[in-house]
Structure 1
Amino acid sequence: MQVNRRSFLMGTAGAAAGLAFGAGSAIPALAEDASLRAMWWGSNDRAKRTLDVAKLYQSKTPGVTIVGESLAGDGYWTKLATQMAGRAIADVFQLEPGTISDYSKRGACLPLDEFVPSTLKVDDFGADMLKLTTVDGKLYGVGLGLNSFAMFYDSVEFEKAGIPLPTPDLTWDEYAKLAVELGKSSGKSGPYGARYTYVFDAWLRQRGKSLYAKESPTLGFTVDDAKEWFDYWEKLRKAGGTVAADVQTLDQNNIDTNCLTLGKSAISMAYSNQMVGYQLVIKNKLGIAMLPREKKGGPSGHYYRPGLIWSVGATTKQGEAAAKFISFFVNDVEAGKILGVERGVPMSPAVREAILPQLNPTEQETVKYINLLKDQVGEYPRPAPMGSTEFDQRVLRPTCDELAFERVSVADAAQQLVETGKATIKG
C-alpha cells in the first residue's frame, strides 16, 4: 500500500480491513475516543512504513484515529508555518536536529517531561540520547533513530571508472581528484556539496570550528572560513567534479531531487539512514562511506545525531495520547520490525536487537556504518539556534546557487553568507 504526499485516514475499521483513505474522505471512524494528526516528510517508503505502524497501533489501541500527512521537503515546512500561524499544529509532527531548537523556541513544541516515564518510556535510551532532543533543559522530542552524515556512491560507476572505493581516511583533496575522474569517465561526478549545512559543519569541525558557535547563538565561522569553503567547491565545479549549476538548484535536500537519484552524479552526501530510501530508487548497488576529512588521521567532523524526531504540537488537546503513540513507535518490537532503520538505527536496545536478523543487506550496511563511527565521532553540538532553518534554506543554498551561476564572486559570496547569516540567527 503506497501513500505519497497526501493525507490518509486510519480509523479502527480501516485498520482492521487494511484500508487507507485519501484526503477529503468522509469515512467515519468507529469508537473515536482520541483523534491524532501526524505529519512528516519523506519518501514513499517512509510513508508506507509509518502508515503500517499507525495501523498496528490502532489495532492494539481501540478507539484511536490517526490522520496523517506525508509531504515533500519544502512543502512540509510551508505547511508547518501555516499551522503555527493558525495555532493548529499537528498533534505529532516530524523535526530533525537542525530544526528542533528553532521550532521549540518558537513555541511549536509541547514539553514532554511530564509524560516521562509514565507514558513516554525512554529510560532504556540512556541520558545522553535524551540530551539530543533537549532544549533549554526541557525535552521537546524523541529521537527515532541514530544516524550521522554519510557519503553514498554508485559502486558500479566507480568500478567502470577503475577508481578505488572511498576509504574512512579519504581527504578532501583526494575526493576532488576522484570526483573529477568520475566526471570524465561517466559524465557523473559528484554533488555541489557547498549547499549542505551538515557537510559544511563537518568540514568546520575538522578544523576546530563549527557551523554555530558553542557558547552563544551566532555563527561559528568567519568570512575567511566561508571563502575557503566556497573556493574549494568552485574550483571543483570548474574542473568538472560537480554537477552543473542548473542541476544543483533542483536539489531540495531530499531523496527525490538529489542529483544521485536524478542520475546526474555518482555520489551523494546525505544522512546514513537515507541509504535505504536511496537504494529503493537507484538500480545500481550503493556503497556508504564517511565524509572526506581535512587530513589523514585528523578529526572526522562526524557525530551521532537523532536521524529524525517526533515532537508533539504545542496546541494539541491530546498531549498524553500523542506521547503514548510516540512511545509505541519507538519501543514496540513489531513496530520496529516494520520501521527497520529507514529513520535511523533504533534508540531502543531491545528493538535494535530484535530487528537485526531481519535487516536486508542495505539496512545492515547502515548499522555497520554507525558502528564504524564509534571511535570517529566527536561531541554532539549544542542545539541549532533559532533561524537555523532559514539560514539553511534562505541563505546558504541561494548563495551557493548564485556562486555556481557565477553571479557573485567567491569573496562576495563569503561576505554575504556571514553578514546575512548573522542577521538570520536570532538566538
Structure 2
Amino acid sequence: MNNMHLKRRHLLVAGLGVSLTPLLGKISAFAQDGGIRMVWWGSEERARRTNEAVDLFEQKNGGSSVETEFMGWDDYWTRLATQVAGGNAPDLIQMDYRYLFEYAGRGAIVPLDDFMGKELKIADFGAANLASCSVGGKLFGVNLGVNSFATLIDKAAWAEAGVEAPTSGTTWQQFAEKCAAFAKAGKRKNFYATADSSGQENTFEAWLLQRGKSLYTADGNLGYDVTDATDWFKLWSEIRASGGCVPPDVQALYKNTIETAPLTTGTAATDFAFSNQFAGYQKLAKSTLDLIACPTLDGGKPGHYLKPSQMLSVTAGAKNPNIAVALANFLAREPEGALILGIERGVPAAPEIRDALASKVDDVGRKALAFISHIEAYSGPLPPPPPKGSGENYNVLTRISQEVAFEQSTPEQAGETLVSETSANLKRG
C-alpha cells in the first residue's frame, strides 16, 4: 500500500526499476489530450470502489477519460507536495481537512463556487457540510462523507482475556487499567490489548479536546503546552510499561494504512481510526469488530467532532477543471456514483444518498451509520483548522512518540521537544 498504483492501465511504479520522469511525461501529455488525473490515498477496497465508479463516469460521459492513482497516506502527501511544487499536480485530488487551509492558502487548489448549480449540484449537503469544506467563505472541497474518530474493538478477544471490554464512556484511567489486566491474563502470545496510539495525532487531539485544549488555536498557534504533551506521553508510557499496548518495534511497522495496523495484523484487540475506515478494517480482520467512542476524561469535555472524512479538490493547474468538478459531483452526489462508494469514505452528506444507502448496506455499514448517530453525545464543535506549516507536525508527533517508546527520550523531554518543533513549523508557515 505504500506504493503508487495506477488504475486500469495498471502500471505499478515501485519495483519496476524505471525512471519516473518518462511516466510523468506521459501523464502530463494525457492531461493535455483532454483527460484528467485523479489521485487519492486509501486501501485496496477504496481503490476498487473508486475505480468502479470512475469507469461508470467514463461510460456515461463519452470523451471524458480519467487516469487514477492511489497510495498510502504517508506517500500521498509527500508525492502530492512534490507534484504541486513541480507544476505537475493531478487535476482532481483527495483532500483532508487538516491540509485544506494550507493548500487553499497557498493557491494550490481553486474555489468551486462558480461551478455550483452547474457541474456541482451539492446545495442539499447543508450549510454545515459546505462550511466544513470552505476557507474564507469560499468552497474549496466537495464533501465525500461525514465521519468521526473512533475506537475499534475486538470484543471477542477481550472476552477471551476475561476482561470487560472498554465501552463508550470508559475513562483513560480505566482504559489503562483494562489494558494492564488484559496483559496480565496473557491468553495469547505476542497479542496486546491495544495499539500504541501515542504517535497518532487524531487520538492526541481527542485527548486535548477533553482537556479543553486543541491542536491549534483560531489564530494559527499551537493550542497546547509542554505539560499537556508530557502528560500524554506519560499516559502511554504507563500503558506500555504494563504490557498493555504493542511494543515499539511492532507499532513502528504501522505505516498509516489499514493493512499495517496492529488490529489488522493480529497483534492488538483495540485500535483507533476514523469511522469511515471501519469497513476496510472489518474486511481484513479475522474477528467481528465494533466502534465505540474514544476513552474520556473524568469531568472532561467532548473529544469527538463530526468532520468531512475527505473532500475532492481541483488543483490550480487543472487542464480540464470542468471535467474534474463533474467527476467530483458524480462521486459525491449522483446516486449512480455515490452508491458505489457507499460509506467507505464516510456517511454521505446528501440526504437522498443516505436514505438510499440505509436499505443497501450490510451489518458493517449499519454499524458505521449507527456510530455517527451515537457519537453525537460525545461530540463538540469543529475545532480550529490546522494552519499553514502544520502539515509536518503529524510526522513530528509520530517520531517523538517512537523516541519515548524506545526509551531514547523521557516523556518530559518529549513534551518539550514536541512543542518546540511543532511551534517552529508553524512559524515557518
TM-score normalized with structure 2 length: 0.91
The answer (yes or no) to whether the contact 1:204–1:211 under 8 Å persists in 2 is yes
Corresponding residue of 2:242: 239
Paired positions, count: 410
Is 1:265 the counterpart of 2:299 in the alignment?
Answer: no
Distance 2:11 2:362 in 1: 30
Q: 1:243 deviation in Å?
A: 0.9
- Determine if contact 2:216/2:385 at 8 Å carries over to the other structure: no
Q: What SS is found at the alignment partner of 1:128?
A: helix
Q: Where do residues 34-45 of structure 1 align in structure 2 (5 Å cutoff)?
A: 34-45=34-45
Cα deviation, 1:48-93, whole Å, max 9, x if unaligned, reads 0000000111111111000000112222122102211211111111
Cα distance in 2 for partners of 1:34, 1:374 equals 44
Q: How does 1:182-197 map to 2 (within 5 A)?
A: 182-184=182-184, 185=186, 186=188, 187-197=191-201
C-alpha contact 1:33 1:64 (8 A) present in aligned 2? no
Residues 21 and 418 of structure 1: CA distance in aligned 2, closer, same or farther (over 3 Å) = closer
The aligned counterpart of 1:363 is 365
Q: Is 1:379 aligned to residue 381 of structure 2? A: yes
Within-5 A mapping of 1:340-355: 340-355=342-357
Residue 201 (structure 1) aligned with residue 205 (structure 2): yes
Return 5+ residue gaps in structure 1 as ranges: 10-19
Tell me the CA shift for residue 195 of structure 1. 0.7
Letter of the structure 2 residue corresponding to residue 158 of structure 1? W
**Alpha carbons 1:149, 1:272 under 8 Å: kept:** yes
Deviation, 1:284, is 0.7
Asked if the contact 1:33/1:63 (under 8 Å) is kept, the reply is: no
Residue in structure 2 matching 1:212, options 210, 216, 226? 216
Matches within 5 A, 1:22-421: 22=11, 34-184=34-184, 185=186, 186=188, 187-213=191-217, 215-295=218-298, 298-393=300-395, 395-421=396-422
Aligned-residue offset at 1:423: 0.3
Residue pair 2:212, 2:300 contacting (<8 A) in 1 also: no
Q: 1:264-299 CA distances to partner (integer Å, 9 max, x unpaired)?
A: 11111110110100111111111111000001x642
1:203 is displaced (CA, Å) by: 0.7
Shift of 1:5: 4.1
CA contact (8 A) 1:161 1:182 kept: yes
Could you say which residue in structure 2 is the equivalent of 1:12? none
State the distance in 2 between where 1:167 and 1:407 align. Answer: 33
In 1, the alpha carbon distance for the partners of 2:313 and 2:85 equals 18
The 8 Å contact of residues 36 and 319 in structure 2, kept in 1 or not, is answered as no
Give the conservation status (yes or no) of the 8 Å contact 2:192–2:243.
Answer: no
**Deviation, structure 1 residue 387:** 2.0
Instruction: Check the 8 A contact 1:37/1:66 in 2, yes or no.
Output: yes
2: CA distance, partners of 1:104 / 1:240 = 44
Unaligned runs of 5+ in 2: 13-22
Q: Give a deviation string over 1:25-49, Cα, whole Å, max 9, x none.
A: x9xxx9x983010001111100000
**What does residue 18 of structure 2 align with?**
none
Q: Report what 2:16 is aligned to.
A: none
SS in structure 1 of the partner of residue 198 of structure 2: helix
Does structure 2 conserve the Cα–Cα contact (< 8 Å) formed by 1:152 and 1:267?
A: yes
Shift of 1:180: 1.8
Cα distance, 1:117 vs. partner?
2.5
Identity across aligned pairs (percent)? 37
Report the Cα distance in structure 2 between the residues aligned to 1:331 and 1:408, rounded to whole angstroms: 49
Cα distance between partner residues in 2 of 1:388 and 1:143:
22
Q: Aligned letter for 1:380?
A: L
SS in structure 2 at match of 1:358: coil
- Is the contact between residue 35 and residue 67 of structure 2 (CA under 8 Å) also seen in structure 1? yes
TM-score by length of 1: 0.91
**Deviation digits for residues 181-228 of structure 1, max 9, x if unmatched?**
223333322121111111111111111111111x31111001011111
Match of 1:16 in 2: none
